[in-house]
């Protein structure tokens, strides 16, 4: 009965907050997002045209940081010793409402904003995950909320987290360790997607490691018996990993590339390296699976007569969903509505979708719909998961891609540089701005989000899979 009473009470609270869209304040918040939209759309395109890999997002982070500084935010730079990490905030006191922004690109996904494969610079990075939209939408929302706080003298703090290297670098983990999130009451985040929905799944925890084998070089034809092949060690390990796939939970993902396999075919390789990522929706189960993967590596060394070293270079926790924030984001997404394409945009979208190779694409019109929150497991990972183990975190997706177009593809890079992507940026910014305003205006809502967090975290403590004391893997030039 207590649980039912709480649910009814929360439902009543969210119902009353949903009426916010009809209030003068809400119209003003949404109006400011619309008024500022051209500026941030242009910013997203500038970042798209200058893609930068993780920990090297100097132009991108500076562009957003300086914009927030001009808007009246206080800036803390070089957070956790990372030159492209920063925290911007306005206001003072409680509650502290954070909004996460990302801006790193992916290697090898350079692409022009056209519906056929055409790299802007062959082999260069590209925004195939839409972080050019992610970082700017979050900044737009933060500025709109700041202006509303200033005009109405709303107490509290709005904070923007500029987080580097989500794509494998776990920048947020180092920011957590530096205490950047410790006083936040609630954090909101979103991600580019091919649909609009509030997030209700755990994503996947992951461990990313470099496994290095050391052998003995020799002439591969003249004296093979004198050599010990490091590449043999890699191949034995990866074969064992592939056999292991049959004996791990089906939600597990294991994928790797051989980053170094030798110098020449006529030399027994004395060094070889494999980069492997292992994922599972539960951090505790992931640790158990990782132990078995390490055994596969040891088997490779034993079988090949080589020596192996294993370095965990990164890792993310699974996402802890928050029912209060999920419902809040769902309501505000429905207030904002989805994306509607012009005839020209629809033609572009259909041409891109035609290159995907799938025969079962969702209807193009589904980009205008708001889907119900789904608990269906998403088989990807994000270091927002680590944030969710430390502070109540709400997460949602906005349709910056035509339905059925996958992230991490040239097709997604093409779309994130067009008005198709930028329309999703505005959906996200409006949803974030409304939700942050709700939280600043309602102590009860913040209290409910914290209670939901305490419930999912009962009996659990956060410990990153990245070894303690490890420093952010900044480029050597820094």
What's the whole-number mean pLDDT along residues 231-237? 98
CATH number of 2-200+319-456: 3.40.630.10
| Overall pTM surpassing 0.85 (yes/no) | yes
Tokens of 16: 């009353």
Residue 13: its pLDDT value, please?
Answer: 52
What's the whole-number mean pLDDT along residues 19-41? 86
Residue 1: its pLDDT value, please?
Answer: 36
pLDDT one-digit tens code per residue, 62-83: 999 999 999 999 999 999 999 9
* pLDDT range class, residue 21, cuts 50, 70, 90: low
DSSP strand E in 52-136: where?
74-77, 86-92, 96-102
Residues of the chain with CATH 3.30.70.360: 205-316
CATH number of 205-316: 3.30.70.360
Residues of the chain with CATH 3.40.630.10: 2-200+319-456
Query: In this model, does residue 477 exceed pLDDT 80?
Result: no
Query: In this model, does residue 19 exceed pLDDT 50?
Result: no
Average pLDDT over the chain reads 94
Distance, in Å, from the CA atom of 180 to the CA atom of 173, rounded to the nearest integer, reads 10
Which burial class, exposed, middle or buried, applies to 344 when counting CB atoms under 10 A from its CB (0-12, 13-18, 19+)? Answer: exposed
Which burial class, exposed, middle or buried, applies to 93 when counting CB atoms under 10 A from its CB (0-12, 13-18, 19+)? Answer: exposed
Q: Which residues contact 222 (CB under 8 A, 6 or more apart)?
A: none
């Amino acid at each position: 009965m207590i649980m039912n009473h709480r649910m009814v009470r929360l439902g009543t609270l969210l119902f009353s907050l949903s009426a916010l869209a009809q209030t003068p304040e809400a119209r003003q918040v949404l109006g400011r997002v619309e008024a500022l939209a051209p500026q941030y759309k242009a910013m997203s395109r500038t970042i798209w045209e200058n893609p930068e890999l993780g920990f090297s997002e100097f132009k991108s982070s500076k562009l957003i940081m300086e914009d927030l500084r001009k808007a009246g935010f206080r800036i803390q730079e070089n957070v956790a010793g990372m030159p492209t990490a920063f925290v911007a905030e306005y206001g003072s006191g409680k509650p502290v409402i954070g909004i996460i922004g990302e801006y790193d690109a992916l290697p090898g996904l350079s692409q022009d904003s056209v519906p056929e494969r055409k790299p802007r610079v062959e082999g260069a990075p590209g925004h195939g995950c839409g972080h050019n939209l992610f970082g700017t939408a979050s900044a737009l929302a933060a500025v709109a909320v700041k202006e509303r706080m200033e005009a109405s003298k709303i107490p509290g703090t709005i904070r923007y987290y500029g987080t580097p290297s989500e794509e494998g670098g776990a920048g947020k983990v180092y920011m957590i360790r530096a205490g950047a999130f410790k006083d936040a009451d609630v954090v909101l985040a979103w991600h580019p997607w091919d649909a609009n929905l509030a997030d209700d799944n755990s994503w996947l925890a992951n461990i990313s490691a470099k496994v290095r084998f050391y052998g003995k070089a020799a002439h591969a034809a003249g004296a093979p018996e004198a050599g010990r092949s490091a590449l043999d060690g890699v191949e034995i390990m990866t074969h064992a990993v592939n056999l292991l796939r049959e004996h791990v939970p089906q939600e597990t993902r294991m994928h790797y590339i051989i980053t170094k396999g030798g110098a020449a075919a006529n030399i027994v390789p004395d060094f070889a390296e494999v980069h492997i990522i292992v994922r599972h929706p539960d951090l505790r189960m992931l640790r158990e699976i990782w132990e078995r993967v390490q055994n596969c590596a040891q088997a490779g060394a034993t079988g090949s007569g080589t020596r192996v070293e294993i370095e965990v270079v990164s890792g993310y926790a699974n996402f802890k969903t928050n029912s209060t924030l999920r419902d809040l984001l769902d309501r505000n997404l429905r207030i904002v509505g989805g994306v509607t394409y012009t005839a020209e945009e629809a033609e572009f979208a259909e041409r891109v979708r035609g290159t995907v190779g799938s025969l079962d694409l969702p209807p193009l019109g589904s980009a205008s719909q708001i889907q119900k929150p789904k608990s269906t497991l998403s088989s990807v990972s994000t270091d927002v998961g680590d944030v969710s183990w430390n502070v109540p975190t709400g997460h949602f997706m906005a349709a910056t891609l035509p339905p059925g177009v996958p992230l991490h593809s040239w097709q997604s890079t093409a779309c994130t540089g067009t008005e198709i992507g930028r329309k999703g940026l505005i959906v996200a910014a409006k949803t974030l701005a409304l939700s942050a305003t709700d939280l600043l205006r309602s102590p009860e809502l913040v209290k409910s989000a914290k209670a939901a967090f305490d419930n999912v975290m009962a009996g659990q403590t956060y410990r990153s899979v990245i070894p303690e004391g490890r420093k952010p893997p900044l480029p050597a030039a820094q």
